[in-house]
Amino acid sequence: MTDSGRNVPRRPVQFGPDELEAHGGTLPGPAELTEIAHETAAVLVGTGRAVDDPDVTARLVALVDDLGLSTVADLWASRPARTLPGALWRLYAVREWVRRQPVEASREYAAGMRFTDVAHAVAGVAEPPGPDEVKALADEILTGVFDGDLAVALERAAAFAAVIAAGRAEMAHDRDDSDPATAGALTTSGAAMQRTGEDLVACAALWRADELD
């Protein structure tokens, strides 16, 4: 995931003294981190074995509370794009970008709207799409992951990504002659956002087929 040509930073997963003690004084191994990534994703959307195991649910909810959602999201970041934790990471990363740069996000969205009428309608941004409206949509989509139909939330996020990608392409076109470096960065980040949207659409289809895990 990129924003304006820069990679969204990934922080390494940090465990404090309490977490280290819970793991016998050692960091979890790669296999355990993979399991945690998938199980936390599953419990947050109400699926997986944790749903039928109250002890697992309690452990995972406590883990999220102790480490914070941003740290858990870092675990999701390492998983393939077309998995449940991979999908949640992309939703989280898009939302964090919008929260950090709402003016830029609204500008890029507005630039892409007229080229992606269908995607704009699916995303459901109120008009005019100013910073507050775009932030509200990002929060609404992420809330829908937990309280609504995950496939619909993924499709709305994919539509949002498609509009942003189109906006970056349009802005890059406008700067080709005057500022080729910025135009190149916008083209690269727009392509990355387009791939994100494609991955989210694929994840929505996998979810409906009960194959997203």
- Give pLDDT, residue 17: 42
Residue 39 CB coordination number (10 Å): 21
User: 124 and 64, same structural domain?
Assistant: no
User: 96 and 121, same structural domain?
Assistant: yes
User: 93 and 46, same structural domain?
Assistant: no
Quick one: pLDDT band at residue 62, thresholds 50, 70, 90?
A: low
Cα–Cα–Cα angle for 38, 35, 82, nearest 5°?
Answer: 35
- Look at 13 and 34; give whichever has higher pLDDT: 34
Does 3 map to a domain? Answer: no
User: 111 and 87, same structural domain?
Assistant: yes
- What is the maximum span of the chain, computed from C-alpha positions, in angstroms? 60
User: 164 and 101, same structural domain?
Assistant: yes
- Give pLDDT, residue 10: 37
What's the mean pLDDT when you consider all of the chain? 81
Does 1 map to a domain? Answer: no
User: 37 and 117, same structural domain?
Assistant: no
Does 137 map to a domain? Answer: yes
Per-residue CA distances from 145 to 47, 70, 115 (Å): 12, 16, 27
Average pLDDT over residues 186-213: 96
User: 162 and 133, same structural domain?
Assistant: yes
- Give pLDDT, residue 208: 95
- Of these ranges, 37-51, 80-94, 178-192, the one predicted with the greatest mean pLDDT is 178-192
* Domain total in the chain: 2
User: 41 and 122, same structural domain?
Assistant: no
d(CA 107, CA 86): 27
User: 97 and 28, same structural domain?
Assistant: no
Q: Is the pLDDT of residue 157 over 50?
A: yes
- Give pLDDT, residue 35: 84
38, 53, 77: which is the final residue of a domain? 77
User: 59 and 35, same structural domain?
Assistant: yes
Is this prediction's pTM over 0.95? Answer: no
- Give pLDDT, residue 185: 96
3-state SS, one letter per residue, for the chain:
CEECCEECCCCCCCCCHHHHHHCCCCCCCHHHHHHHHHHHHHHHCCCCHHHHCHHHHHHHHHHHHHHCHHHHHHHHHCCCCCCHHHHHHHHHHHHHHHHHCHHHHHHHHHHHHCCCHHHHHHHCCCCCCCHHHHHHHHHHHHHHHHHCCHHHHHHHHHHHHHHHHHHHHHHHHHHCCCCHHHHHHHHHHHHHHHHHHHHHHHHHHHHHCCCCC
Of the chain, the percentage scoring pLDDT greater than 90 comes to: 44
Q: Is the pLDDT of residue 80 over 70?
A: yes
- Give pLDDT, residue 28: 64
Range of the domain at 102: 82-208
Q: Is the Cβ–Cβ distance between 57 and 22 less than 8 Å? A: no
77, 104, 125: which is the final residue of a domain? 77
d(CA 165, CA 61): 35
List, for residues 105-135, the tens digit of each pLDDT value.
999 999 999 899 999 999 988 887 888 888 8
Q: Is the pLDDT of residue 25 over 60?
A: no
- Give pLDDT, residue 46: 73
User: 116 and 59, same structural domain?
Assistant: no
Does 8 map to a domain? Answer: no
User: Of 5-9, 166-170, 188-192, where does mean pLDDT reach its minimum?
Assistant: 5-9
Does 5 map to a domain? Answer: no
User: 185 and 132, same structural domain?
Assistant: yes
Q: Is the Cβ–Cβ distance between 188 and 163 less than 8 Å? A: no
Residue 47 CB coordination number (10 Å): 16
59, 77, 95: which is the final residue of a domain? 77
Cα–Cα–Cα angle for 134, 136, 137, nearest 5°?
Answer: 65
Does 11 map to a domain? Answer: no
Quick one: pLDDT band at residue 60, thresholds 50, 70, 90?
A: low
